[in-house]
Structure 1
Amino acid sequence: MDIDVLGTLGVRLNGVSVTPTAPKPRQVLALLALRAGQVVPVGVLTEELWGSEPPRSARATLQTYILQLRELISAALERGAGDAGGRCCQAKDVLLTVPGGYLLKNGDGVSDVREFERLAGSGYRAMDAEDHPQAARLLREALALWTGSPLADVHTGPQLETEVKRLEESRLCALDQRVEADLRLGRHRELLAELTVLVNQYPTHESLCGQYMLALYRSGRRGEALDAYQRLRTTLVRTMGLEPSPTLAKMQRSILMSGSDMLPARPAASASVVPVG
């Protein structure tokens, strides 16, 4: 079973889609697919579908959705068996009922989330080893798996909203490190267009702003680098009552002094911000 969630939802068995069109069965499949190989408790699925006040018929309705998913799985299995000229497993062996919940098995199938995590993890290790060409390549491959916002075509309840936020944060971390690797390879001018978009998309993200400032400064655009800092500071003070981190403030002072020994480092992703005075 192949699973795609980094964009629109796609779940395929033997190359056949088993993704339902109805919204709630689609939610159920999305949560099971994200946690493939793990037991998803009935209570978790119920909360995803109906929040904190499920109807009295919630369990029976959930069972109906599971049966609908198994029908799609059965059709895919029968097609696979026909193509292979033999007998295959049953739907209940793919979407299992287990004590307390359900479990979706994807076997040897490909999951774009797991592939993203594998590539990003290798990229982070390459960064730690200061192998910046390898880090940039691996992180670029990881990010290329994203075709849009995660589960872009799925209605999300409390459980899936948490998963989507987690995935978006993972993507932003990988993007941050990929930009950092490219900066350390001297690709400052090549990054300017991308960073211009990113700092507008994430106007309070200090790490991206620091990378943008550095790319501008090293491209001979000192004034624009200082302007970027002031825009960030204004936004932070207005929206959060906070000053930029000491690390970013130090970078701004270095640019003001036009020091030729500017380090290629940027504020750490976890850098704190301090309250306005």
Structure 2
Amino acid sequence: MTPLQVATRAGLRRGLIEFRQTLTHKEDIANLIIPTVIFIVVMIFMRGAKLPGTDFSLGTATVPSVLGAGVLFSGLTGMAGALSVEREDGTLLRAKATPNGMFGYLIGKVVAISYGVVLGIIVTLVPSLFLFDGLATGGLVSWLTLLWVLVLGLLASLPLGAVFGALAKSPRSLGLLMIPIMGLGAISGVFYPVTALPEWVQYIAQAFPMYWLGLGMRSALLPDSALLAEIAHSWRPWETLGVLAVWSVIGLTLAPIVLRRMARRESGSSVAARREKAMQRIG
């Protein structure tokens, strides 16, 4: 077995262990359940509203949009937060000190965060199937579409999260990442159709993966009667595939470069300096 294969197996095992550990902490479980409950309650109140120009429930249409936004949010912030925090506490330095340790570490993070994203989708989608009419009426086609959109969504978000985490000076600076994400959520048709926004805003939304993740999830879970609220009255599957693939390539190209530079800068003295600075903030 080659060293890379050993590192891959170790990373897969590490990711599974980390994911299992999140299921044993009350805080992690609460962070999963509470936002899900809030979103479902909000969508229940939206059930009486209709998509513009249709008789379809706005609450039902919002479910897949929230799932798409959740994939991007969890992938970006999950990976960025893990890299930033574990660089500061010395975890990355220890990984760097072992053969192919950084590779195994990243594999583990991808696995752990991906499991978390899938669990979040299940926790949101399962009760929604009972609470909202008109979801996943396409049978096997719906679930296959959901699968490829989810895979591309993770590929588009996790590498970008690694880039942001490697560039962040400290975990506290990652709060700035929330501002553009929330802004994209406001213009990407998550809670209301993007066609209700000015045309120039629609073009901005379509340049980023959050809109396409929401559209892909809607194409998987909503019937064609909801198409009247979409741009060009189409699910645009090939455009969704293309844009998410482009963002995946961008992230996968940038992430190794940025991560290598970050790893080269890691040393015992840099970790000690960050810890001293953190202690000064606490003090």
Give the TM interval when normalised to the shorter protein.
under 0.3
Higher helix share: 2
Greater relative contact order, per chain length (Cα 8 Å cut-off, separation 6+): 2
Alignment TM-score, normalising by the size of structure 2: 0.26
User: Which one has the bigger strand percentage?
Assistant: 1
TM-score by length of 1: 0.26
Larger radius of gyration: 1
